[in-house]
Structure 1
Amino acid sequence: MLKNIFKNIGPGPLIAAAFIGPGTVTVCTLAGANFGYALLWAMVLSIIATVVLQGMSARLGLISQKGLSEIIRDEIKTPFIKIFAITLILSAIVIGNAAYEAGNITGGVLGLETLITNPTFQLGNFSIKGFNVLIGFLAITLLYIGNYKVLEKVLVSMVILMSLAFIITVFIIKPDIYSILKGMFIPSIPSQSLLTIMALIGTTVVPYNLFLHASLVKEKWQNPNDLKLVNKDTFIAVVLGGIVSMCIIISATFITTENVTNASDLAIGLEPLFGSFAKYFLAIGLFAAGITSAITAPLAAAYVACGCLGWKAHLKNKQFKMVWMFIIIMGVLFSSLGIKPITVIQFAQIANGMLLPLIAGFLIWVVNKKTILGEFKNNLFQNIFAFIILGISILLSLVTLNNVLKLNIF
C-alpha cells in the first residue's frame, strides 16, 4: 500500500517543501504572534495563487517536456530581451538561492538546537558549527545519489513529518474554530500589518518554484494523459502546504513570550503553556522545513542554470552537480561561519522582486500558445485567475523593491 502511495505522488510535495522553509515559518510565526488569526485570509489567497501558477508551470512541463528556463531561452527571439531575461533569472535564482541557502540550513539547525546543543569545532581562527555541516552533508549526499525516486521519497517523507509536527501542535493547543474560520474568510488589515500580509504572500508564491515544478514534472511524467494526476498532485500538495503554514500561524497566536523575532521563538514560547511535548513536535517541524528547503533550493538553481545556459538538466550531469554543490557549500559556509551576505541577499531580493511578475506574465503568455500546448492551452476561466494573480505579483514586487530600496512608497 505504501508503495502505491509513493507511486502516485509527484513533485507537488517537493514544491510544498520548497515554500515551507525557515522564512515561511518565521513570517507565519510573526503573523500569528502579532496579529492572531486576522491574517489567515492572506494565506488562503496565497494558496489559491500558488495553485494557479504552479498548475500552469506543471502543465507546461508535462506537455512540452521542457523546463521553464529552456522554454524562455527558446521562445524569446529578440536577443536583447533574451539576454536581459536570462541574466535576471540567473541572478535571482542562482545567486539568490546561494544567499538564501544559509537561511535554509540555519532553519534546520534551529530545530535541532531547540533540543540539543550545537557542537562547535575550531579550525584555526574559524569556528565551524557541527549541525550546519551535518545538514549540508545530508543535502549533498541525497543530491549526489542522482536518483529522482530516492530524492522524491526522502523529501515526501520529510514533508509528511513536517506536516504532522505542525498539525499535531495545533491539536494540542485546541484553538477556537470559529475565530479561525473568521480569519480565513473575512479579510481584515490590522494596523501595521500590510508588510506582513505581503510577506505571507511573497514567501508562498515563490519564483524559483515555477522553474522547479516544470522540470520535476517532466522527470516524473511524460504522457499528456497524466495531466489529471499532475493537477491532483499539485492541488493536494499546495493546499496541504498552506494548511501547514496556517497551523504555524495558529500555533503562534498562543505564544506567551514577548519580542518574538524568529521561528525558534515559536517552540520556546509555547513551552510554558504545553510543556516540552509541543516543543518536540515544533523542533521536528523546523528541522524538516530547513532540510527540505536546503535540498530544493540548490536543485531549482541547477535546473535554472542548465536551462538558461543550454546544459543538459539531469541529476547525473556534471554541470548540474556543480551548480547545486556550489549553492550548498556557500550556504554551509555562510551559516556556519556566521557570515551575513547582506549585499548579496539585498541584490537577490531586488532580482526576485523584478522576476516574479515577469515570469508570471511570461508563463501566462506561453500557456496560451497553441504551438506549445495545443489543446492544453489556458481557457478563459484559467486566464481570469491568472491575470488577477499577475496583478498581485506586480503589487508584491513593488512592496519588495520598496522595502529593499527604502523608497517609502507604502
Structure 2
Amino acid sequence: MFKRFPSFLRHVGPGVVTGAADDDPSGIATYTQAGAQFGTGLLWTVFLSLPFMIAIQLVSARIGRVTGKGVAANLREHTPRPFLMSMVLLLVIANTINIAADIAAMAEALQLVVGGSRHYLAMMFGAVTVLLQVFVPYRKLAPILKWLTLFLFAYVIAVFLVQVPWTRVLYDLVIPKLQWTSAYWMMIVALLGTTISPYLFFWQASQEVEELRLKGRGHRTETQVRHDLRRVKRDTYLGMFFSNSIAFFVMLLGAVVLYTAGIHDVTSAAQAAQALRPLAGDFAFALFAGGIIATGMLAVPVLASSAAYAVAEAFGWPEGLARQWYEAKRFYAIIILATLVGTGLGFTAIDPMKALYWSAVINGVVAVPIMAGMMLLAGNKAVMGPFTSGFKTTWFGWGGVVVMGFAVLMMFWDLLGLSF
C-alpha cells in the first residue's frame, strides 16, 4: 500500500492541496471553538457547506484551467476596477491576519512539545515558509504540499481515541437547533468564511494556471481541455470532501471533549491541544499538536501566495511560483511582506486569535460578491467559450452565494438589534 503513495500523489492536483489548506491552524481553532461553544449543534454546517464549496471551487478551477488566467486577472478584464481593488485589499488584510494566527499557533504548538521561546519559534516558521516559496522551485514545492495533506488524518485518529455519543451526533445532524443570537450567527458566518474562503478561490485557479505552465500547454484543443476538466472535477470533489471531513472531525473532537468538560472558550488551536491532554490523553494531544504544525506549513504558503496572485493579477504584474524570484519580483515581494507582517503581528498587543475570528467574518462577507463575480464569469461564453458551467454547478454555485449572503444578513440583523 505504501508503495502506491508516490503514484497517488502524482495524481493529486490543486484541488486536494486547496482542500487541505482550508483546514489550517486558524480553521482548526474556529472549528474547535464551534464545538466547544455549541457542542454538536453546529456539525450540520459542514454538510450544508459541502455542495456549495464543491461548486464554487470547481468554478474557480475551471476559470483557471480554461482561460489560462487566475480569478483576479479575469475580474480585472470584466468587472469595475474599484470593485476588484476593494476585494483584493480585504483579501490581503484577511490573509495577513490568518498568517499571523497560523504562525502563532504553530509556534505555540511546538513550544508545548519542545519548550523554548514562542517568539523565536514564530520567527523560525516565518523564515522557513518564506524560503520555501522564494527559493524552492514550484515543481519541487508542489510534492511537499501534497505530502503535508496526509498529516490531517491526525484529527480523524484523535476522534477515535475518545468516547463519541454517535446517537446524539446523528440526531443533531438531522434535526439542527437554530439559535437567534448574534453569537450563533457570527459563528456560522465564521465557519462559512473559514470553509468557503476567498483565498481558496484565487489559489486554486492560479494553481491550475501553474500546472499548465509546468506542462508547457499553451494552445490546447477542445478535446484536451475537456480531458483537463474531467481531472479538475475529480480532484476538486476529492479535495472538498477531504477538507470538510477533517473539519467535521475537528469540530466533533471539540464538542465531545471540551464542551462536555465545560470548556466553552478556546482562544487558539494550541490551547485546544493543551486542553485535550488531560481529557483525551497524551497521544491525542501529540496528534493534535503535530497536526497544527504540519497544516500550518501547508497553509501559510497558500495564504501568502494567494494574496500575491490576487494583487499581481489585479495590476497585471508577472506572477507565479513557477517563475524565478527575479522574474516576478513584485509577486515575491508580496509573499515576503505578507508573511513578515503576519509574523510581526505576534509581537504586538493585538490578540491574533480575536483578529482571526474577525478575519473569518470578513472572509464570509467578502466571499459573497467575489462568488457572484466568479459565477458571472463562469457563465459568460465570452470568457469560457464552450466550457461554461453546467446546470448543477451553476445551481449550487449561486445557491452558495444565497446561503452565504443570508448568513451575513442574519448576522448584521442581530448585531443591529433588529427583530422580526
Matched pairs, number: 394
> Which digits, 9 at most, give the CA deviation of each residue in 1:14-72, with x for residues without a partner?
21233212332122112212322221111111222211100111011111111000001
Q: What residue ranges of structure 1 are gaps of 5+ in the alignment?
A: 77-81, 121-128
Match of 2:53 in 1: 50
Is residue 368–residue 404 contact of structure 2 (8 Å, CA) maintained in 1? Answer: yes
The amino acid across from 2:293 in the alignment is F
How far, CA to CA, are the matches of 1:342 and 1:186 in structure 2?
31
User: For 2:355 and 2:278, how far apart are their aligned partners in 1?
Assistant: 39
**1:297, distance to aligned residue in structure 2 (A):** 0.7
Q: Greater CA deviation, 204-213 or 331-340? A: 331-340
Do structure 1's residue 182 and structure 2's residue 188 form an aligned pair?
no
Spell out, residue by residue over 1:92-138, the C-alpha distance to the aligned partner (whole angstroms, 9 max, x if none).
Answer: 12233223321121121232133232326xxxxxxxx1110111011
Q: Say yes or no: does 1:261 pair with 2:301.
A: no
Q: Per-residue deviation at 1:233?
A: 1.0
| Structure 1 residue aligned with 2:78 | 75
- Using a 3 Å threshold, how does the CA distance of structure 1 residues 6 and 169 change in structure 2: closer, same or farther? same
Among 128, 131, 145, the alignment partner of 1:141 is 131
Contact 1:14 1:155 in 2 (8 A): yes
Q: Shift of residue 334 of structure 1?
A: 1.1
176 and 216 in structure 1: CA distance in 2 versus 1, 3 angstrom threshold: same
SS at match of 1:203: helix
Of the candidates 324, 327, 339, which is equivalent to residue 328 of structure 1? 339
How far apart are the structure 1 equivalents of 2:249 and 2:353? 30
Identity of aligned residues (%): 23
Alignment of structure 1 residues 385-396 onto 2, 5 Å: 385-396=396-407
Q: Deviation per CA, 1:217-257: give whole Å up to 9, x if none.
A: 12124541111111111111111111111111111121225
**Structure 2 residue aligned with 1:372:** 383
Question: How do residues 115-264 of structure 1 correspond to structure 2 at under 5 angstroms?
Answer: 115-119=113-117, 129-161=119-151, 163-190=152-179, 192=181, 193-221=184-212, 222=217, 223-224=224-225, 225-252=227-254, 253-255=256-258, 256=261, 258-262=263-267, 263-264=269-270
Change (3 A) 1:400 1:89: farther
Task: Letter of the 2:238 partner, please give it.
Answer: I
Question: Which residue does 1:284 correspond to in 2?
Answer: 290
Query: What does the per-residue CA deviation read over 1:143-164, in whole Å, with 9 as the maximum and x for residues that have no partner?
Result: 0125223222222222211x12
- What is the aligned partner in structure 1 of residue 416 from structure 2? 407
Unpaired segments ≥5 residues, structure 2? 218-223
Aligned to 1:297: 303
- Tell me the amino acid that sits aligned with residue 407 of structure 1: L
Q: Which amino acid is 2:370 matched to?
A: I
The amino acid that maps onto 1:310 is G
Shift of 1:345: 7.8
TM-score normalised by length of structure 1:
0.88
What TM-score results when the alignment is normalised by the length of structure 2? 0.86
| Whole-angstrom distance in 2 between the partners of 1:292 and 1:36 | 28
- Higher mean alpha-carbon deviation, 370-379 vs 227-236, is at 370-379
CA RMSD of aligned residues (A): 2.6
Would you say 1:306 and 2:292 are equivalent positions? no
1:308 Cα deviation after fit: 0.1
